[in-house]
Structure 1
């Protein structure tokens, strides 16, 4: 009896202005991050920078993990043009376009410190853009469109990775790096145009009366609504669920280079074999969640994600084989697409619409923590730690049993698989399999 309206609402959600906006928010949100995690590492590795130093560049992602600190400022204060959300959206877009274009003007061998600082600036503006885009998207999407809207956002987010992760690498074989970075920076223009064409959300809540309220009330509401124990369990889950997946993909591009693949091969085969299955997984995930609910999706997609990480183990053993690379990555990123879609929907479900900016900033920051701090250690895990340059870190890893020469790629990816298990165990507490879906709740109430 309820099936026809549900189907109709799905198709209506797929073809409306809000979904088109989600395409642009996803693209603008993903592009700067992929510059930092794919283009910059490939550039540095090609210029002869050590893996350990490249791994440490993950620390420039700290703004993604601490963005909830300044999100209340963006929630409380409105710029004198375009409105509460759109003003910040325009400013951050412009800053990102300029800073990305400037990156290629530097020489890695001579200015690695300056590159690190500029990368941190890009991360700051990117995290700030995420704050306002996440809040705007949550405000324009009604609850019934959250799953599909976030699925479209995530897919556009991944499509943006084609620019720094595929197009830029191909261009780098034919032109200079400074030109490559300028071209990539110009891809922030579509988001700027979207910002000027859309309007503020009609459901935009009244800004907090003070900066103090903007800081305290979102946290107070979250813990009061869920209780201290359950709130802490949910926060721990947000940190752990994508840990193994994040570690597995942290040094993906240097991994491909070490296996002997050329940049053009990486740009054409590796990136596309990863992207499109992830998009397919995201679309399937969004549609399946309508049928099975977010909880069951987290269980099923999480298991797929763990199993497919093992594909990197097989690839490390197989070596330079383009066909094998494409198959392994297609399966891995199909799992990534499924898992990410369910995870983002869970994060959105955990927020209150009156406190979107700060709560989403906190939750997405927790999800970014593994990408920043755990990933900063991945280079050391693979290659080991030089006791002369990093004596304290060498002592720490030696105490954990890490060989002086590192784990190597094969054992590193086995470790990534193990790291994905704790997040799955927390599902027993935060998203039990037996919890009713929204459709079941509606049917029961009738």
Structure 2
């Protein structure tokens, strides 16, 4: 009984204002800042910024959508996550070794994209995009496991906020800075510079500490089939088949409105009459800081309030913010409409991102951190990636306005699932 009371008192220390102060004072917060930056850089360079580059070269929207499938590694990373849990590399430790390997591969892939370019051989270039996405997805898998293992559950919302702060800094580099460099010099120089930016989180890995493996399984003793099967078996054993499937479906649908627009956002800005410098300033500089504000608002709310209510607020915000894109559609090349759209979109994205990360972290078992979280993170992007790949065809068959309304309505299944899960998750 005394142990239960002590555990409850410890959990209470992480609630309210005291919880906010204690969580954000975690020593691991600075490390997560730099690792978040490393994760943010390749994501845009194989997605949003890449689409802008392709559109700037005159490539059709339908082709841009198809090329975006090369970044599908971000939604398939759970397939090789068990290998990351099972086989530590022979240097720097279980987590840091994989981080170094993925970051070195990122530098190579981004530099190769800069050399090749999309106009030499689109097939070769698409392969390099896929290699960049593979390295970035591997890095994300290890960073997520590192974050969950380095601190207690009660600190995860705060670490998610500092991680997303770093992630947003990475988005500034791979978004605003890359676009400015492309406008002032060339896309080749811009992507070379981005390859160089990966060196900072790489140095951070060498200076960081390896998580304490005390609470993790001795992965060297696990058979390879166990490494693949047990994480999924344990997830469904703990939640049951029906609840487990519902949780996976909910996570997969949560970011659908945002993911649908992601592939065509850059091309839409160009088609609306804005220059690469305009896009860099409004979307990838101003917008990122607005997103940071949304992320910290999300971290504070998750630390202080019931996460179920925050899931409702976040899902609705992500959906409704897509209607702001209609302002740009009806008022092209007008700066006020651009700023209004980016404000609504990025605040909601930042807020919802922290809420979702905290929710997914609560669903993982620390014996299978990398695999289970990778599965959840992959599902969070899967439906949107599928639709995003054909979004160019949808817009060419209709128009941007119809597409934005359709993306807003895609939140309905998410809300219905959340209503079913409300009394079954026990989330506090």
TM over 0.5: yes
Show the counterpart of 2:407. 416
Q: Report the alpha carbon displacement of residue 435 of structure 1 after superposing the two structures with TM.
A: 7.6
Partner of 1:8: 18
What is the CA distance between 1:120 and its match in structure 2?
0.6
Match of 2:65 in 1: 55
Of 104-113 and 358-367, more deviation after overlay is shown by 104-113
1:4–1:154 distance in 2 versus 1, CA, 3 Å: closer
Residues of 2 paired with 1:76 and 1:328: CA distance? 44
Q: 1:140 aligns with which of 132, 144, 150?
A: 150
Shift in CA distance, 435/124, structure 1 to aligned 2, threshold 3 Å: closer
Q: 1:304 aligns with which of 314, 317, 325?
A: 317
| Structure 1 residues 107 and 31: CA distance shift in structure 2, 3 A | closer
Asked whether the equivalents of residues 102 and 181 of structure 1 are also in contact (C-alpha less than 8 Å), the reply is no
Q: In the alignment, does 2:307 pair up with 1:316?
A: no
Deviations, residues 210-237 of structure 1 (Å, cap 9, x unaligned):
1111111101110010000000000111
1:246 is matched with 259
Q: Normalization by structure 1: what TM-score?
A: 0.89
What is the 5 A alignment of 1:161-176? 161-176=171-186
Q: Give the Å deviation of 1:4.
A: 9.4
Cα deviation for residue 288 of structure 1 reads: 0.9
- Pick the aligned partner of 1:358 from 337, 359, 371: 371
**Does residue 393 of structure 2 align to residue 380 of structure 1?**
yes
What is aligned with 2:350?
Answer: 337
**Cα displacement (A) at 1:274:** 2.2
Q: Distance in 2 between matches of 1:279 and 1:4?
A: 22
The residue that corresponds to 2:341 in the other structure is 328
Q: List per-residue Cα deviations over 1:40-59 (Å, max 9, x = no partner).
A: 11111111111111111221
* SS at 2:28 equivalent: helix
1-structure distance, mates of 2:168, 2:413: 26
Measure, in 2, the Cα distance between the counterparts of 1:68 and 1:194.
25
Q: Could you state the TM-score of these two structures normalised by the residue count of structure 2?
A: 0.93
Residue-pair matches, total:
415
Whether 1:119 aligns to 2:129 is yes
Question: Structure 1 pair 336/431, CA: closer, same or farther in 2 (3 Å)?
Answer: farther
- For 1:241 and 1:124, how far apart are their aligned partners in 2? 23
Question: CA separation in 2, counterparts of 1:413 and 1:6?
Answer: 38
Judging changes above 3 Å, is the alpha-carbon distance between structure 1 residues 287 and 176 closer, same or farther for their aligned structure 2 residues? Answer: same
Unaligned runs of 5+ residues in structure 1 are 384-405, 439-446
Q: 1:75 deviation in Å?
A: 1.0
Tell me the secondary structure at the aligned position of residue 116 of structure 2: coil
Q: Which runs of 5+ in 2 are unaligned?
A: 1-8
| Secondary structure at 1:139 match in 2 | helix
Query: Matched residue of 2:47: which SS?
Result: helix
Residue 224 (structure 1) aligned with residue 237 (structure 2):
yes
Tell me, in whole angstroms, the C-alpha distance in 2 between the residues paired with 1:58 and 1:5.
Answer: 41
Aligned residue for 1:82, secondary structure, equals coil
The answer to whether structure 1 residue 195 and structure 2 residue 197 are counterparts is: no
Instruction: Tell me: CA distance 1:168–1:22, structure 2 relative to 1, closer, same or farther (3 Å).
Output: same
Partners of 1:81 and 1:347 in 2: CA distance: 29
1-side partners of 2:203 and 2:372: how far apart? Answer: 27
Structure 2: distance between partners of 1:288 and 1:232? 27
- Counterpart CA distance in 1 for 2:333 and 2:139 is 38
Gap change, CA 1:368 and 1:4, over 3 Å in 2: closer
Aligned partner of 2:109 among 89, 99, 109: 99
Q: Distance in 2 between matches of 1:278 and 1:431?
A: 28
Does residue 24 of the first structure (1) align with residue 34 of the second (2)?
yes
Work out the CA distance in 2 between the residues paired with 1:157 and 1:421. Answer: 29
> 1:269: how far off?
1.7
CA distance in 2, matches of 1:43, 1:437: 42
Q: 1:157 corresponds to which residue? A: 167
Q: What residue number does 2:420 align with?
A: 429
Indicate conservation of the 8 Å contact 1:58/1:373, yes or no: no
